[in-house]
Amino acid sequence: MMIRALNARLAETLMLSMAFAMSTAATPAQAQTPVGKILDKIPSLFGTPRQPDVPRPPTPSLPGITIAAAKAVPGDVTTYDLGGFRLGMDEEQIEAVRRARNLSTGRVLRVVDFETGLRSAINVRGGTGGQATRKSVLGEAELKDPAGGTYLLKTTVWPDGAHLTSVTYLAPAGTSAADWGGILAAKWGKPSTSEITDMLSARWSGGGAGARASAAVGARGGYVSLENAEGTRGRPAKLISDTVDTYFASRARRPTL
C-alpha cells in the first residue's frame, strides 16, 4: 500500500509539473504586441466571471531573485549588472533600462501569470480553481543595442509578476579577447577563473544566492552572461505545488476509521 501511495503521489507531482509547464507556455503571437497587452485588460463581453477563492501566496523577498540590488557589491555576483540589467528586476525596471539604453525590441515572448498557473494546477488535481485570468507577463525578450550586440532576457513568474533570472549579451565581432578581459575586470573585478587564448573564457562567482557570471568572447564575438543559481527557475513551480497542497488540506475532511 505504501508503494502504491508513493506512486500515486509521484503521478500527482508529474501532473502538477505538466500543468505548470503548460500554463507557462507561449501565449499567442497577438500577445506579443501592444494590442495584445491592451486585449489582456479588456473584460469579456459577458462580464468577468466570479472566481472561486484560492490561496494567494505572497512573493518571497529574495535578493537577486525577486528583488534587484540597488548597486553592485564587490564579490557578490547577485548584485552585478550586465548592460544595466540586474537579476531580480521586474518588468517596469527592465523597461526603464531598455528605454535608457535606447535598445530596440526584437522577439518578445509573453506567458500567463502566476495566478493562472495556480488555478490550472488546482483544476488538474480535481479542485475548483476557476478560469485563467487572461493576464500575461514577460517571459523572454530579445533587445538589440546600437553597437550591434543583442541582449537575451529570461524571467521567472512569481505572484507579483515576472522577475529577471538571466541576461546574456551576444557580443558583436571586433573586440579582442584581451580587451574584453580588461572591460569585464573593470566592471566585475577579478574573475574566479580566467583563460585567454583567441577568446576570453572566464567565470565570476560569490555571494549568498549562488548567482554566476561567465564569458566566452573574443574578436569573433561570443557571449557574456549573468544568471541565477541552477534550480532558481523551478522555485515558482514549487511555490505553486505547496500552495495547492494548502488548498486541499484546508478542505479535507478528517477520515473516520
Query: How many angstroms separate the CA atoms of 173 and 82, rounded?
Result: 18
The residues spanned by each domain of the chain are 2-34+59-251
Query: How many angstroms separate the CA atoms of 9 and 3, rounded?
Result: 10
Query: How many angstroms separate the CA atoms of 132 and 117, rounded?
Result: 8
pLDDT in tens, the chain (257 residues): 433 343 334 334 433 444 344 443 443 333 444 434 544 555 555 555 688 888 899 999 999 999 999 999 999 999 999 999 999 999 999 999 999 999 999 999 999 999 999 999 999 999 999 998 889 999 999 999 999 999 999 999 999 999 999 999 999 999 999 999 999 999 999 999 999 999 999 999 988 788 999 999 999 999 999 999 999 999 999 999 999 999 999 888 888 88
pTM of the model: 0.80
User: What's the Rg (C-alpha) of the chain?
Assistant: 21
Q: Which residues contact 145 (CB under 8 A, 6 or more apart)?
A: 83, 101, 102, 103, 151
What is the DSSP secondary-structure string of 178-223?
A: HHHHHHHHHHH-S-SEEEESSEEEEEEE-STT--EEEEEEETTEEE
Query: How many angstroms separate the CA atoms of 4 and 1, rounded?
Result: 5
User: pLDDT, tens digit, for every residue of 136-151?
Assistant: 999 999 999 999 999 9
Helix (H) or strand (E) holding 101: helix 91-101
∠ Cα 29 85 89 (to 5°)? 75
